[in-house]
Structure 1
């Protein structure tokens, strides 16, 4: 309850800031939409040169991409940890965090909330719905609930991986440079994993499980590619990966000795 009350305060402060600089808010929204549009256009360009990726049609790949955007938008809105090492370790802001009574991870997450990113989730939902209609997929009463559970599980996968990467900064004084690499790898999750070789499939399933933020949970709704077992593993994988991330953070914060030369 204490953390939830802090969430309300941080969101209120965020809105005050953005209302002061409204142009920045809309520029951020426009840039997110443009980024999503470019990724979607790239898929269309690929399918102008090939009729299918493996045995996946254009509409099916677009369906997976639409799903991919939903948890990514949720994650980006509440877990913006891209510059954690530079801001909190190199510049010493972690010292400020540790002088306060709230949990260190909760404070860092709350300080970096980015509500405009949630718009990407709604865009993804629209893309998914359009692809759903094009594919003529059946719509059952439980599908929205399943989609919600899958999306939350995928969001936990994102959070666990990036919390772990952020926590690595506690173990070294120099920036790790891992985040851009992992960010590029995560984009493989928006395409059918079956088009990759075995090594990449293993990497995306069990080491950096970005297949669980895209193709596996999305496959639950696709008649031609349904993989119910892997789809239902998504919430479990999300909980495991997020638990690992929190554990690495908890261990790393104990090693932190403060900023200084």
Structure 2
């Protein structure tokens, strides 16, 4: 309960600060929207030259992409860790965080969150809705519950991986180029995994399991039973990778020597 109260207080302060510069807030929203629109146009261009992609129709691929946007939006809203090294390590802000009783990762997350990115949930829902309108889907009563479970599992996958990558900064104050590379790999999860080679499929499933963020859950919601087992593993994979990320963070905090040391 205390954590949620702190989250609410941080959220209010964040919105006050952001709304001081309303046009900047609005422009960022439209920039994100344009980026998502470009990716959607890319899919439409591809299907302008073919009827199927790896056995998937145009609207099935659009559905997968729309679904992917939802866990991605939640992740980027609450795990906005891109500038962690500069702010918390190089400028020494982590020392301040460590003097407070709340867990250090919770504080960093609350201070770095970007709630405006949650608009991606709406965008993803609209894209999914457009695809569903053209697809003969027949969902059971429990599918919305599975949908929520899948989304949370996907968020946990992303969060675990990026928390683990961020924790590398706790051992060294030098910048790392790993995150951009992993980000590029993560975009593969927004498309059907069977269009890639076996090696990439293995990486996206068991090494950097971004296929659990988009493709596997979406394929189940599309009624494709070929990847049903993988879809059901989404919450498990999410819990495993988030636990690994949290473990890496805690070990890094134990190793952290403080600014200027």
Q: With the length of structure 2 as denominator, give the TM-score of the two structures.
A: 0.96
User: In the alignment, what sits opposite 1:10?
Assistant: 10
- Gapped regions of structure 2 (runs ≥ 5): none
Q: CA deviation at 1:51?
A: 2.3
Question: What is the rounded CA distance, in whole Å, between the counterparts of 2:86 and 2:18 in structure 1?
Answer: 24
Secondary structure of 1:141's aligned partner:
coil
Map Cα deviations across residues 91-124 of structure 1 (whole Å, 9 max, x no partner): 2211111122211000000001111111101110
User: In the alignment, what sits opposite 1:134?
Assistant: 134
User: In the alignment, what sits opposite 2:220?
Assistant: 220
**Cα RMSD, aligned residues only:** 1.2
User: In the alignment, what sits opposite 2:165?
Assistant: 165
Runs of 4+ in 1 over 4 A off after TM superposition: none
Tell whether 2:90 aligns with 1:90. Answer: yes
- Gapped regions of structure 1 (runs ≥ 5): none
Question: What is the rounded CA distance, in whole Å, between the counterparts of 1:34 and 1:132 in structure 2?
Answer: 22
User: In the alignment, what sits opposite 1:102?
Assistant: 102
Map Cα deviations across residues 41-74 of structure 1 (whole Å, 9 max, x no partner): 1111111122221211111111110110010011
Deviates more, 1:112-121 or 1:124-133: 124-133
Deviates more, 1:179-188 or 1:127-136: 127-136
User: In the alignment, what sits opposite 2:259?
Assistant: 259
User: In the alignment, what sits opposite 2:189?
Assistant: 189
Q: CA deviation at 1:13?
A: 0.2
Secondary structure of 1:48's aligned partner:
coil
Q: CA deviation at 1:226?
A: 4.5
Question: What is the rounded CA distance, in whole Å, between the counterparts of 2:127 and 2:102 in structure 1?
Answer: 39
Q: With the length of structure 1 as denominator, give the TM-score of the two structures.
A: 0.96
